[in-house]
């Protein structure tokens, strides 16, 4: 197993992904240690309580902008899962330099700390908003993806390898529309931006399991994309509050009608597996033998939320929402 008896550094470890990853890692993979790296002392205290002082957990106050602190946290680490980021689209638009410092400079610091500390595997969490970005958050995550893929060319003879996981909206996470709809349900009116809008959806459990499987599979330089369902936002709203009135308020700045996880251009150097797509790096270090068991994609293929072959049913969404209870 990729995490068994390993020391893991988890940036952004007190977020929704971080807590679920820690829960699964401790319960199912028995790592030697999980180092939670984040800025918030209160959230770390809450997390320490949640895990009843599990002795495999370590808590580091720090910011990915601070290279010295990252170097200390990465000492003796086998695996880094990089989930720290400024993620709120409006916040990034209003604070663009801060978004660059965290999402881009922070990624660069992770790469340096990993290589210089001899970390074996580094997996960064990305988003569908990094694909053909129309907002600053997506643009910073696109740059971060490029940095992590190209980071493999910086390692020289060292063992460190970098890869990326890219997926869509996480059901119930901070910033998801679902908690907003659940809150608005009490008022009898739900606000939607456009009745044509579609999104990819994945649960926290599914996202974490895909990340862990990608750590096991990664050779370095890949972008892993899970096959996940789509749903129209208006259908999502009707499922959550079937009796509520729907008010169309207009698309917001930096927002797309549909999201894309794999572009036509990327598909030319991507392959398909039963559960995922993998974008392979266009670099000399990539060994084509790494793609055994896959099949190439057809010319012109793109993986978008409006042209997805898998649509989320009301029953499937209801089962997803049970995770939030």
Average pLDDT of every residue of the chain:
94
pLDDT tens-digit readout, 75-127: 999 999 999 999 988 899 999 999 999 999 999 999 999 999 999 999 999 99
> Taking 80 as the threshold, does the pLDDT of residue 172 lie above it?
no
Contact 189, 245 (CB under 8 A): yes
The pLDDT assigned to 64 comes to 98
d(CA 133, CA 260): 10
Longest dimension (CA), the chain: 62
Helices (H), the chain: 16-24, 41-50, 67-74, 89-94, 96-100, 106-116, 136-150, 177-184, 204-217, 233-240, 264-267, 314-321
> Taking 60 as the threshold, does the pLDDT of residue 276 lie above it?
yes
The pLDDT assigned to 177 comes to 84
Other C-beta atoms closer than 10 Å to the C-beta of 189 total 12
> Taking 80 as the threshold, does the pLDDT of residue 324 lie above it?
no
7-169+201-228+261-303 folds as Rossmann fold (3.40.50)
Highest mean pLDDT range out of 58-67, 189-198, 230-239, 286-295? 58-67
The DSSP string of 144-156 is HHHHHHHGGGS-T
Contact 7, 33 (CB under 8 A): yes
Measured N-to-C along each axis, helices 204-217 and 16-24 cross at an angle, to the nearest 10 degrees, of 60
**What is the torsional sign of CA 273, 21, 37, 90?**
positive
Active site residues: 129
> Taking 90 as the threshold, does the pLDDT of residue 320 lie above it?
no
> Taking 90 as the threshold, does the pLDDT of residue 33 lie above it?
yes
Other C-beta atoms closer than 10 Å to the C-beta of 250 total 9
Helix (H) or strand (E) run with residue 57 in it: strand 57-61
> Taking 80 as the threshold, does the pLDDT of residue 133 lie above it?
yes
d(CA 182, CA 31): 36
* Average pLDDT of the segment spanning 2-17: 96
Q: How confident is the model at residue 325 (pLDDT cuts 50, 70, 90)?
A: low
Domain boundaries, the chain: 7-169+201-228+261-303
């Amino acid at each position: 197993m990729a995490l068994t008896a390993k020391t893991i550094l988890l940036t952004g470890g007190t977020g929704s992904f971080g807590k679920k990853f820690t829960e699964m890692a401790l319960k199912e993979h028995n790592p030697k240690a999980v180092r939670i790296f984040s800025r918030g002392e209160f959230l770390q205290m809450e997390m320490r309580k949640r895990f009843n002082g599990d002795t495999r957990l370590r808590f580091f106050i720090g910011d990915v902008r601070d290279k010295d602190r990252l170097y200390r946290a990465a000492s003796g680490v086998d695996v880094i899962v990089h989930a720290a980021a400024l993620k709120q689209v409006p916040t990034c638009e209003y604070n663009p330099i801060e978004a660059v410092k965290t999402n881009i400079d922070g990624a660069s610091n992770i790469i340096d700390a990993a290589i210089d500390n001899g970390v074996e595997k580094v997996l960064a969490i990305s988003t569908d908003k990094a694909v053909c970005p129309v907002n600053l958050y997506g643009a910073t995550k696109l740059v971060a993806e490029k940095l992590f893929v190209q980071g493999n060319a910086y390692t020289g003879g060292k063992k460190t390898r970098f890869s990326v996981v890219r997926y869509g909206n996480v059901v119930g996470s901070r910033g998801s529309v679902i908690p907003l709809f659940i809150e608005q349900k009490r008022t009898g009116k739900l606000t939607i931006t456009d009745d044509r809008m579609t999104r990819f959806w994945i649960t926290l459990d599914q996202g974490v399991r895909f990340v862990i499987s990608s750590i096991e599979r990664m050779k370095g330089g890949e972008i892993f994309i899970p096959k996940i369902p789509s749903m129209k936002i208006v259908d999502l709203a009707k499922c959550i509050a079937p009796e509520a009135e729907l008010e169309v308020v207009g698309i917001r700045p930096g927002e797309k009608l549909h999201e894309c996880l794999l572009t036509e251009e990327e598909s030319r150097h991507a392959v398909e597996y039963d559960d995922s797509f993998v974008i392979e790096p266009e670099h000399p270090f990539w060994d084509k033998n790494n793609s055994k068991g896959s099949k190439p994609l057809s010319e012109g293929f793109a993986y978008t939320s409006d042209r997805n072959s898998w649509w989320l049913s009301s029953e499937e969404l209801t089962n997803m929402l049970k995770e939030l209870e």
